[in-house]
Structure 1
Amino acid sequence: MFCNQCEQTAKGSGCTKIGVCGKNDDLASLQDLLTHAMQGLSLVAVEGRKVGIVDNEIDRFALEAIFACLTNVDFDPQRFQQWISKAVSFRETLTTRVAAAGGKSEFDAKAASFTPGANLAALIAQGKELDFINSLDDNEDLRSLKQITLYGIRGLAAYSDHAAILGKENESIYTYIYQAMAEMTNTGQPLNELVGLALKCGETNLKAMELLDAGNTETYGHPTPTEVPLGAKAGKAILISGHDLRDLELLLQQTEGKGINIYTHGEMLPCHSYPELKKYSHFYGHFGTAWQNQAKEFPEFPGAILFTTNCIQKPAETYKDNVFTTGLVGWPGLVHIGSDKDFSPVIAKALELPGFTADSDKGSVLTGFARNTVLGVADKVIEAVKSKAIRHFFLVGGCDGAKPGRNYYTNFVEKVPQDCMVLTLACGKFRFFDKKLGDIGGIPRLLDVGQCNDAYSAIQIAVALAGAFECDVNDLPLSLVLSWYEQKAVVILLTLFSLGIKDIRLGPSLPAFISPNVLNVLVENFACKPVAETPEEDLATILG
């Protein structure tokens, strides 16, 4: 195997024996093979659109199949076998339809004629023989740009899938994904073309995140500032992790009146701030911190646990029987809740387990500072900046992870001067989410914008402030200090680049898939830089 798509990749270069995420050589081969099969389907889908053939069932499948290859989503080989078979089946039926409509139906690329092996062992062998990453291009820089785009597409597919679940889709997103996946079957393209393809991924993702924001807010209302308990209430319990608001809503509906309290984990924390979700009286509090701590935290949770999207790790034997999956997330041997979303097995397990035996008070955290809330007090913010009560804004957010070096972000927030504000989002905030930083003129100094899925909110806040001050976003007293782990973070970074946002600090380490020459392009065009060894160095430079 060779996989270097996440920040924790082995030795900072690539996992070659087993993934740091927990996937083995066989699963890595199946993911590569599914990506290869999706390239073949994309070649045909591009031609289909030229002759007016668009199939939404195939489009939705494409998002799911690409999303499934994102880090910490699905580890079940049987599901990848099904996805590979379905990708090739869709390719063949679509090819017939395109040919009948007079479109191109023959291609030189191997992906367009790929025939899957007869069984799982044969598929694994095909995936290993493929040597997918090295096959992208012999040129290191072109291969690097293709990887940036591929990983960006995986993040784009994730956000687009979240939005589509809520009924929000856009043809331009599917068109870009197919075109980009098809383009990566070619080799030797000019460097600037592949740079443009990567930036187009970020531009397309802005549309996807706008759709997701609309889906969330139109369905569940705009988030409002909400105190979320970190302790427990005596009674039966279910812990829900991941990102999916619709799954949470269905779980709340199905558990109403059953004496079960619902707790969030990880990126589900901001769900407490949505009016249509917080109305459920048994939607109680938040348990635990970020995804990488689940092996330490989950044995302490006395109820059932439901994963809705990504961020799953290998469940320990001590709590494995209590864990359920739904949607695209999966692990071999766990009970998976299918598309019918009947959470009866989860509920039964929760009722079987002891639950919390007594109330506990562990304080609370404040969430719900999405764009609608922040822009609602924009006049106060603007006046505070003009009066110099607020000197600077720091957006400190992104993915958390287990690799050493992430204490930088905790230390950074702790050392931000009292006349500065900190905005945060995604699971990186769990390094400091419970810090009591006080306020400036009644506005909390630490504002939780939401999930990584809510990056659109942060962008809209910045754009609105730039409009109010009649300046460019890059001229605002705003600095972005970001952490990354997986491919959602990659596509958000591409989105920021596509908007022309510069001087971003990224850490705790730079992506292994960015070649030195491509890194130079990013530095020269966007002044992107790694975080310094200490937060004091970066704060001195920024505020100097």
Structure 2
Amino acid sequence: MSMFCNQCEQAANGTGCNISGVCGKKPDVAALQDHLIYGLKSLALYADKIGRNAEIDRFTIEGLFTTVTNVDFEPARIGGMIKQCYELKEKAKAAYGSAIANPVADWKPAEDLAGMVNQGEQHGINTQHVNEDIRSVIEILMYGLKGMAAYMDHAMILGRTDDEVMAFFQKALAATTNASAGLMDVVGLAMECGKHNLTVMGLLNAAHTDTYGHPVPTPVQLGTKSGKAILVSGHDLKMLEEILKQTEGKGINIYTHGEMLPAHGYPGLKKYSHLVGNFGGAWQDQAKEFANFPGAIIFNTNCIQRPSDSYTDRLFTWGLVAWPGVKHVDGWDFSAVINKALECPGLPENPGQEILTGFGHNAVLGVADKVIAAVKSGDIKHFFLVGGCDGAKSGRNYYTEFAEKAPKDTVILTLACGKYRFNKLDFGDIGGIPRLLDIGQCNDAYSAIQIAVALAGAFECGVNDLPLSMVLSWYEQKAVVILLTLLHLGIKNIKLGPTLPAFITPNILNFLVENFNIGPITTAEADLKAILG
């Protein structure tokens, strides 16, 4: 069985994984994910006609998020979602009252998993359109929808949704089945996806800050504290809060990992005294780092890799994350994880370095007068947003070098797990303003946008006229939708790396260069020179 997947930055040979995914995805899982996407498009043809249906909308978000890189590797679970998708499609068809004249609308999955795999092989990404440029933009749109679904899933867990955004999900999915769609029709949908993602990131930001308060600058311990322990990896703050509540008074220390690091800045989470620190770095180092964590480990969103035998018995998944043979927690009862932590030997007392997080837009704009004064006086010459996804592929040391070589009169804003390339370095400060400001998770790009918009307002100019440059790293689909949001806002001159997406054809790349001046990273020295002159 073969496969083809090019949705992440580590696509084999820079073109696509065709034997097995670099992420660990097997051909049967790839086929099932392609099948689920095809089913979601079939469902959307009817969902777009009948209007809002809470069950269908929620399933669409979960279905899209399931297919994001490093989320669900369990064939049986995906097969179950395919069956559920068909049942919902039939309900929507009945509600609409008639059949839709589109071959995708006639979709019906096989009864068994092997049959679903065979069907999925017929609906891979290369079947989405005969024109390679239109197919390229459809891929950009689909990956944007997947990324936006990830953010919407977190917002929905905290009780937030938006009817206009949900209507767009169904409209856009349905539109990808239109064989006669023109290139600019799909480009328009991709840009609209960026617009709606700004709404979603705003929803999620409001959900986080209304629930846990605005992040505040907070030192985070990278060493360990003596005692039993649970390591929480992923992005979902609500899940972390539930574990903190359920472990109170039980002698268990809670550590964050990867994109959970910014949780330490939220007043509603940092109030728990047993949230003691951050263990390890970015997602790609988990296999070697988790082997040295003698406690329970749980993933709540994407970034899981093939687990090592040294810690599989201590590993759990939750939500949409799954790996064959790994214990999965359904719902909000984490007693199995807690009991496993109590069985484990725990960690020694070993204090380490402290790093700062919690520089969301509220914190930064709270000292905006100092920042503006420093720019006007010439103490701050330039701002760099250096962040995004991290990954294992070579070339990402560029971001470390860029941060290290940025002049001392510049400030570095960072977010997402790309910051692990340099967040342990000492960059000092400018008049009391730290030169490195950790804004938060990938979804906290919303905060970065708010900071940029506020600065543009203060200096009475456009964002593109600010002394601000974006040097971004990407890995998976959430980075794609953030890029679409930046393009929707008209932000230009973005440097992107470590390589450009394999799904962007030369003609589409030329379009992005001509309209937005997007360019690949080169070397830290050359790019700094080009930016600063």
TM-score, structure 1 as length reference: 0.97
Q: Report the Cα offset of residue 191 of structure 1.
A: 1.5
Q: Does 1:40 align with 2:42?
A: yes
Q: Name 2:529's counterpart in structure 1.
A: 540
How far did 1:94 drift?
A: 1.4
Q: CA deviation at 1:267?
A: 0.3
Matches within 5 A, 1:380-459: 380-459=370-449
Instruction: Using the TM superposition, give the Cα deviation of residue 128 of structure 1 relative to its aligned residue in structure 2, in angstroms.
Output: 1.2
In the TM superposition, residue 109 of structure 1 has moved relative to its aligned partner by 2.6
Query: d(CA) in 1 for partners of 2:179 and 2:475?
Result: 28
SS of equivalent residue, structure 1 residue 300: coil
Aligned counterpart in structure 2 of residue 135 of structure 1, from 123, 127, 137: 127
Which amino acid in structure 2 is aligned with residue 361 of structure 1? Answer: P
Letter in 1 for 2:110: G
Question: Which of these residues, 191, 194, 208, is aligned with residue 200 of structure 2?
Answer: 208
Q: Which amino acid aligns with 2:532?
A: L
1:291 alignment partner in structure 2: 283
Task: Give the C-alpha shift of residue 108 in structure 1.
Answer: 2.9
TM-score (norm 2): 0.99
Post-superposition shift, 1:189? 1.9
Q: Name the residue aligned to 2:8.
A: 6
Match of 1:471 among 426, 442, 461: 461
- Look up the equivalent residue of 1:470 and give its one-letter code: E
Match of 1:78 in 2: 76
Q: How many angstroms apart in 2 are the aligned matches of 1:96 and 1:113?
A: 13
Deviation at 1:24, TM superposition (A): 0.5
SS at match of 1:421: strand
Aligned to 1:88: 86
For 1:34, give the aligned amino acid. L
Q: For residue 113 of structure 1, report the CA deviation from its aligned partner.
A: 1.4
Map of 1:102 onto structure 2: none
Please report how far the alpha carbon of residue 134 of structure 1 lies from its aligned counterpart in structure 2 after TM superposition.
1.6
Q: How many residues align structurally?
A: 531
1:319 corresponds to which letter in structure 2?
Y
For residue 112 of structure 1, give the secondary structure of its aligned residue in structure 2.
helix
- Give 1:289-368 correspondences, 5 Å limit: 289-339=281-331, 341-356=332-347, 358-368=348-358
User: Matched residues in 1 for 2:176 and 2:491: separation?
Assistant: 26
State yes or no: 1:58 paired with 2:51.
no
Deviations 1:270-302 (A, max 9, x none): 000100100111110000000000011000001
**Letter of the structure 1 residue corresponding to residue 527 of structure 2:** D
Q: Is 1:259 matched up with 2:254?
A: no
Deviations 1:37-78 (A, max 9, x none): 0001000011112xxxx2111111110011100000110111
Counterpart residue identity of residue 28, structure 1: A
Q: Distance in 2 between matches of 1:402 and 1:188?
A: 39
Matched to 2:93, the amino acid is T
Shift of 1:490: 0.2
Q: Which amino acid aligns with 1:86?
A: Q
| Residues 330-384 of structure 1: CA deviation (Å, up to 9, x unaligned) | 1111111112x1101100110001001x311221110000000000000000000
3-state SS of paired residue (2:291): helix
In structure 1, what is the Cα distance between the partners aligned to 2:139 and 2:122?
19
Distance across 1 between alignment mates of 2:207 and 2:163: 16
CA–CA distance in 2 between the matches of 1:111 and 1:316? Answer: 40
Q: 1:36, 1:491 → 2: CA distance?
A: 20
The aligned amino acid for 2:321 is V
3-state SS of paired residue (2:5): coil
RMSD of the TM alignment (CA)? Answer: 0.7
Shift of 1:194: 1.2
Cα offset for 1:133? 1.1
Give, in angstroms, the shift of residue 180 of structure 1.
Answer: 0.7
Task: Give distance in 2, aligned partners of 1:469 and 1:168.
Answer: 34
What secondary structure does 1:233 align onto?
A: coil
Report the Cα distance in structure 2 between the residues aligned to 1:346 and 1:361, rounded to whole angstroms: 25
SS at match of 2:401: helix
Q: CA deviation at 1:168?
A: 1.1
- Among candidates 502, 515, 520, match of residue 505 of structure 2: 515
Whether the aligned pair in 2 keeps the contact of 1:137 and 1:188 (CA below 8 Å) is no
Q: Secondary structure at the match of 1:336?
A: strand
Would you say the 8 A contact 1:265–1:288 is kept in 2? Answer: yes
Partner Cα separation in structure 2 for residue 278 and residue 137 of structure 1: 49
* In structure 2, distance between residues paired with 1:189 and 1:65: 24
Aligned structure 1 segments of 4 or more residues deviating by more than 6 angstroms: none
Which of 219, 234, 239 is equivalent to 1:242? Answer: 234
Structure 1: segments with no counterpart, 5+ residues: 100-104
**Aligned residue identity for 1:67:** F
Native 8 Å contact 1:139 1:188 kept in 2: no
User: What pairs with 1:495-534 in structure 2 (closer than 5 Å)?
Assistant: 495-532=485-522, 534=523
Match of 1:372 among 348, 358, 362: 362
CA contact (8 A) 1:230 1:285 kept: yes
SS at structure 2 position matched to 1:129 = coil
Per-residue deviation at 1:98? Answer: 1.7
Residue in structure 2 matched with residue 97 of structure 1 by the alignment? 95
Q: Distance in 1 between matches of 2:293 and 2:241?
A: 21
Q: C-alpha separation between the residues in 1 aligned to 2:374 and 2:102?
A: 59
CA contact (8 A) 1:201 1:491 kept: yes
SS of 1:506 mapped into structure 2: strand
Structure 1 Cα separation of the partners of residues 196 and 408 of structure 2: 37
Q: What one-letter code is carried by the residue in structure 1 that aligns with 2:473?
A: S
Instruction: Give distance in 2, aligned partners of 1:188 and 1:41.
Output: 20
Equivalent pair of 1:142/1:188 in contact (CA under 8 Å):
no
Query: CA offset at residue 111 of structure 1?
Result: 2.3
Task: Check if 1:156 corresponds to 2:148.
Answer: yes
| Aligned equivalents of 1:364, 1:511: Cα separation in 2 | 35
What is the Cα deviation at residue 110 of structure 1? 2.6
Aligned to 2:113: 120
Displacement of 1:192 in angstroms is 1.3
Identity of aligned residues (%): 60
- Distance in 2, matches of 1:324 and 1:485, equals 24
Which residue type is aligned with residue 8 of structure 2? C
3-state DSSP of counterpart to 2:424: coil
SS in 2 for 1:285: strand
Task: Tell me which residue corresponds to 2:28.
Answer: 26
Distance 1:217 1:177 in 2: 25
Classify the secondary structure of the residue corresponding to 2:33. Answer: helix
Gaps of 5+ in 2: none
Deviation at 1:188, TM superposition (A): 3.6
> For residues 173-184 of structure 1, what are the structure 2 equivalents within 5 Å?
173-184=165-176
TM-aligned CA deviation for residue 129 of structure 1: 2.6
Q: In the TM superposition, what is the alpha-carbon distance from 1:107 to its structure 2 partner?
A: 2.1
Q: 1:489 aligns with which of 479, 482, 488?
A: 479
